């Protein structure tokens, strides 16, 4: 999903007949800044029959939608979000809910996983002005996105983590700091979470 036209033509030129294997997920196309064209992947996928109906064909597609990593409530949430977002983008993106929705490959035991969405508003200069369950007190000027000073979002995440530490997870084990990860868009953004 992250190739451009030149790369696509190179791969097509050097591949033996029936010797090209492509894996992709248009939801994860992230390299538009370097010229990636996800529609190449989308068009290839549309031009090939599904494996179940590809008898006698030299090429086919196989959907790998079964997910064994995430708990069912997490996948339900992801499907809900992407089902709306991708269809809002339009047919050009190639999202097919019946094929692209993730299917839970495992069952969940114990306490079900919980999905929480926290929305943070920003001022024009990028500073956070409001977060869940907090007052509207004015933040210091240096308290902004990407800074080393912890902002409201970072403090919110730190408080959620602090509440989890020492409790028991769905598997019954005590949650430790090493069981938790914070995913950020850019590496530098992690500093404000570390500071919190």
Please give the radius of gyration of the chain, using alpha carbons only, rounded to the nearest integer. Answer: 22
Task: Count the Cβ atoms, other than its own, within 10 Å of residue 111.
Answer: 12
pLDDT at 180: 92
Task: Count the Cβ atoms, other than its own, within 10 Å of residue 41.
Answer: 21
Could you tell me the pTM of the whole model? 0.61
Three-state DSSP at 180 gives coil
Q: Check pLDDT > 70 for residue 150.
A: no
Name the average pLDDT for the chain.
Answer: 80
Least confident of 30-39, 100-109, 118-127, 164-173: 118-127
CB 49 within 8 A of CB 60: yes
pLDDT at 64: 86
Q: Write phi, then psi, for 3 (nearest 5 degrees).
A: -95, 160
Tell me what the mean pLDDT of segment 163-170 comes to. Answer: 89
pLDDT-above-90 percentage for the chain: 18
Rounded to the nearest 10°, the torsion over CA 170, 171, 175, 178 is -120
Burial class (CB in 10 A: 0-12, 13-18, 19+), 189: middle
CB 42 within 8 A of CB 51: no
Three-state DSSP at 83 gives helix
Q: Check pLDDT > 60 for residue 107.
A: yes
Burial class (CB in 10 A: 0-12, 13-18, 19+), 54: middle
Supply 30's token pair: 């992230």
Least confident of 67-71, 134-138, 182-186: 134-138
Q: Write phi, then psi, for 150 (nearest 5 degrees).
A: -65, 130
Counting runs of H as helices and runs of E as strands, what totals does the chain give? 6, 4
CB 5 within 8 A of CB 37: yes
Measure the CA–CA gap between 116 and 130, rounded to whole angstroms: 17
Q: Check pLDDT > 70 for residue 92.
A: no
pLDDT at 179: 92
pLDDT at 82: 84
């Amino acid at each position: 999903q992250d190739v451009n036209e030149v790369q696509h033509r190179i791969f097509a030129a050097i591949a033996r007949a029936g010797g090209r294997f492509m894996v992709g997920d248009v939801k994860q196309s992230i390299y538009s800044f370097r010229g990636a064209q996800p529609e190449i992947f989308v068009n290839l996928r549309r031009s090939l029959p599904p494996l179940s109906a590809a008898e006698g064909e030299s090429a086919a597609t196989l959907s790998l939608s079964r997910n064994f990593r995430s708990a069912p409530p997490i996948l339900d949430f992801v499907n809900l979000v992407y089902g709306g977002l991708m269809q809002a983008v339009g047919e050009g993106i190639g999202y097919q809910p019946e094929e692209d929705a993730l299917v839970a490959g495992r069952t969940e035991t114990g306490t079900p996983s919980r999905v929480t969405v926290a929305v943070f508003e920003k001022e024009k200069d990028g500073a956070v002005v409001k977060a869940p369950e907090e007052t509207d007190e004015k933040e210091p000027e240096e308290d902004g996105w990407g800074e080393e000073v912890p902002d409201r979002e970072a403090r919110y995440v730190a408080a959620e983590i602090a509440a989890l530490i020492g409790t028991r997870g769905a598997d019954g084990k005590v949650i430790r700091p090493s069981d938790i990860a914070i995913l950020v868009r850019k590496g530098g953004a992690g500093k404000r979470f570390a500071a919190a």
